[in-house]
C-alpha cells in the first residue's frame, strides 16, 4: 500500500506532501473508528519492549521525533501507528512562518532530507490548546520548545520560559532545542556558560510552576552532531551538572560529506536520514561512556530498520526516534522496527530491551 502512496507523495513538493499527510491524519485524529483500525494494523504490544523512564511507561522504545507534528495537531493518530512515544514541536512562544520556501529537499539516492524550516509553527498558546487532552493519547507525549527567530540569544531564556508557562501542564516530558541549524546563532547556546544560564532559567521556571501545584516533568536537552569531542563533553557535563533529565542525540547535521555531488547538496539546512546514522550512533556511544549512568539517552539519526535502532540501543540509547525513515519507509515503520527488535533480542539471548542498552559501549 505505501509504495503507491509514496509515489504519489514523492510526485509533490516535499512540504506540500507533508501538509497533505497532516490533513489525512487529522481525519483519523477525529475518528475513533479510524484510530482503532490503525491500531489493529500497526500496534505491537510486547512486554520485552516496554520501558519505564522518569516514572513514565513507554510501551515500546520507538518514537517519532519532533518536526512532524509541529503544532500538536495529530499526535492521537500518530499514537495509533504503533509508536512508543511522540515528540511534538518545535514550538516557540509566538507563531512564526519559518524560513522562505522552498526549504525542504529530498535526496532519495541517499535516503536523506535537507530542511531549513526554521521553527515554523502556530505558537505556544495554540499548541497548549491542542495538548489539553494529551493524557488520552495512550503513549507519552514529549514537547519540544525553542526560541523565536527575532529573539536575540541574550534574551533566549525568556522565550523558553514563556513556552514553559504555556505548556508545562501538558506533555510527559520537555525537550530544549538549541541544536537546530536553521535558526541563526541558535547553536551558540550550546556553549557551556550560555547553556548553564539557560538551563538554570528553565529549571527555575519549572520549580516555580511545580510550587503552584503542577506535576514535575523531565527536561531533556537535544544536542547537535557537529561539535568537537571536547565541545560535546563540555556541553553534556554542563547539562548533567545543571540537572538535565536526559539527552537526545542527535539533531540534523551541516556536514555534506556523505552527499557530495547531489544536486541538493549545496542547499542550506540540516541533513537527516541515512547519512547521519553512523555519526549519530558514534555520538550516542561517546555520550553514554561520558554520562550514561547518570541520564538516559534518546537516540535519533538515520534509523530505518530494527538493526539501525538496535545499534543505537546497544550504543547506549534507552529509546530511539525516527523521522526521515518514516518519509521513506511509511507509516508501518514503528511496527517493522519493533518486530525486528524482538527478533534481535531473542537472537542475542536478552529477555528485555533494557538488557541491551549500552552493551557495545561498556
Render pLDDT for 101-139 as a digit per residue (tens, 0 to 9). 999 999 999 999 999 999 999 999 999 999 999 999 989
Q: Quote the Cα angle for 342-51-74, to 5°.
A: 95
Q: 324 in a domain, yes or no? A: yes
SS3 130: helix
Domain residues for the domain of 203 are 2-356
What's the pLDDT at 171?
96
- The answer to whether 24 and 78 are in contact (CB under 8 A) is no
Least confident of 65-74, 93-102, 175-184: 175-184
Q: By the 8 A CB rule, do 113 and 9 touch?
A: no
Tell me the β-bridge partners of 271.
114, 253
Mean pLDDT value across the chain: 95
- The pLDDT score that the predictor gives to residue 293 is 85
**CA geometry: angle 294, 134, 143, nearest 5 deg:** 45
Q: Residues with Cβ < 8 Å from 156, sequence gap 6 or more? A: 147, 178, 189, 198
Q: Which range has the top average pLDDT, 35-39, 177-181, 205-209? A: 205-209
Active-site position among 128, 179, 180, 272: 180
Flag the least confident range among 73-82, 95-104, 181-190: 181-190
CB atoms within 10 A of CB 241: 13
pLDDT given at position 36: 92
Residue 188's pLDDT is what? 87
For residue 362, being part of any structural domain is answered with no
Question: Are the beta carbons of 252 and 268 closer than 8 angstroms?
Answer: no
- Give a yes or no: residue 361 inside a domain: no
Q: How many structural domains is the chain composed of?
A: 1
* CATH number for the domain harbouring residue 54: 3.20.20.70
- Range scoring the smallest mean pLDDT among 23-37, 243-257, 292-306, 308-322: 23-37
Say yes or no to pLDDT of 1 above 80: no
Rg, C-alpha atoms of the chain: 19
Which residues lie across from 192 on neighbouring strands? Answer: none
Q: Is 22 within a domain?
A: yes
Residue 13 placed within a domain: yes
Show Cβ contacts of residue 26 under 8 Å, excluding neighbours closer than 6 positions. Answer: 73, 74, 77
pLDDT confidence tier of residue 56, bands split at 50, 70 and 90: very high
pLDDT at position 181 is 87
Q: What is the pLDDT of residue 184?
A: 86
By CB atoms closer than 10 A (0-12, 13-18, 19+), residue 93 is: buried
Q: What distance lies between CA 322 and its chain's CA centroid? A: 7
For residue 114, give the C-alpha cell: 535537507
Interacting residues of 167 by C-beta distance below 8 A, sequence separation 6+: 91, 124, 127, 128, 131, 143, 145, 174
3-class DSSP assignment, residue 179:
coil
pLDDT band, very low/low/confident/very high, at 3 (cuts 50, 70, 90): confident
The CA-based dihedral angle spanning residues 351, 357, 360, 361, taken in that order and rounded to the nearest 10 degrees:
-150
Residue 179 above 90 pLDDT?
A: no
pLDDT of residue 362: 81
Q: Where are the alpha helices (DSSP H) in the chain?
A: 2-10, 14-29, 32-42, 75-80, 124-130, 156-167, 192-211, 229-241, 277-291, 306-315, 324-329, 333-348
pLDDT of residue 102: 96
Grid cell locating 96: 512564526
Residue whose grid cell is 506535576: 215
The residue assigned the cell 548533567 is 240
Helix H or strand E encompassing 104: strand 104-107
The verdict on whether 245 is a catalytic residue reads: no
Res 2: pLDDT: 83
pLDDT surpasses 90 at 38: yes
**Average pLDDT rounded to a whole number, residues 47-57:** 97
Provide the pLDDT for residue 64: 98
* Residues in the chain, total: 362
Amino acid at each position: 500500500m505505501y509504495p503507491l502512496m509514496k509515489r504519489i507523495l514523492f510526485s509533490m513538493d516535499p512540504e506540500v506532501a507533508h501538509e497533505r499527510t497532516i490533513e489525512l491524519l487529522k481525519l483519523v485524529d477525529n475518528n475513533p473508528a479510524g484510530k482503532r483500525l490503525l491500531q489493529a494494523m500497526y500496534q505491537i504490544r510486547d512486554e520485552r519492549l516496554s520501558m519505564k523512564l522518569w516514572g513514565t511507561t513507554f510501551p515500546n522504545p520507538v518514537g517519532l521525533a519532533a518536526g512532524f507534528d509541529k503544532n500538536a495537531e495529530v499526535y492521537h493518530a500518530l499514537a495509533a501507528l504503533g509508536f512508543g512515544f511522540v515528540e511534538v514541536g518545535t514550538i516557540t512562544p509566538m507563531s512564526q512562518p519559518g524560513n522562505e520556501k522552498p526549504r525542504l529537499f529530498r535526496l532519495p539516492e541517499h535516503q536523506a532530507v535537507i530542511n531549513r524550516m526554521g521553527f515554523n509553527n502556530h505558537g505556544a498558546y495554540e499548541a497548549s490548546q491542542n495538548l489539553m487532552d494529551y493524557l488520552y493519547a495512550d503513549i507519552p507525549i514529549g514537547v519540544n520548545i525553542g526560541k523565536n527567530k527575532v529573539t536575540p540569544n541574550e534574551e533566549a531564556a525568556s522565550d523558553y520560559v514563556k513556552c514553559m508557562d504555556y505548556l508545562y501542564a501538558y506533555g510527559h516530558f520537555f525537550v530544549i532545542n538549541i541544536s537546530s541549524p536553521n535558526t541563526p546563532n541558535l547553536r551558540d547556546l550550546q556553549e557551556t556558560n550560555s547553556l548553564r544560564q539557560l538551563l538554570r532559567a528553565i529549571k527555575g521556571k519549572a520549580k516555580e510552576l511545580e510550587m503552584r501545584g503542577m506535576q514535575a516533568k523531565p527536561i531533556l536537552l537535544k544536542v547537535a552532531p557537529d561539535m568537537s569531542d571536547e565541545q560535546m563533553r563540555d556541553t553534556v557535563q554542563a547539562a548533567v551538572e545543571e540537572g538535565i533529565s536526559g539527552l537526545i542525540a542527535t539533531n540534523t547535521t551541516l556536514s555534506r560529506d556523505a552527499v557530495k555531488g547531489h544536486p541538493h547538496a549545496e542547499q542550506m539546512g540540516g541533513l537527516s536520514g541515512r547519512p547521519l546514522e553512523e555519526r549519530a550512533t558514534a555520538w550516542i556511544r561517546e555520550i553514554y561512556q561520558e554520562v550514561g549512568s547518570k541520564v538516559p539517552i534518546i537516540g535519533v539519526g538515520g534509523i530505518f530498520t530494527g538493526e539501525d535502532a538496535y545499534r543505537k540501543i546497544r550504543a547506549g540509547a534507552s529509546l530511539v526516534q525516527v523521522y526521515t525513515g518514516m518519509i521513506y519507509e511509511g507509516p508501518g515503520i514503528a511496527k517493522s522496527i519493533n518486530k525486528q527488535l524482538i527478533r534481535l533480542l531473542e537472537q542475542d539471548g536478552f529477555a528485555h530491551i533494557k538488557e541491551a542498552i549500552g552493551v557495545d559501549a561498556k
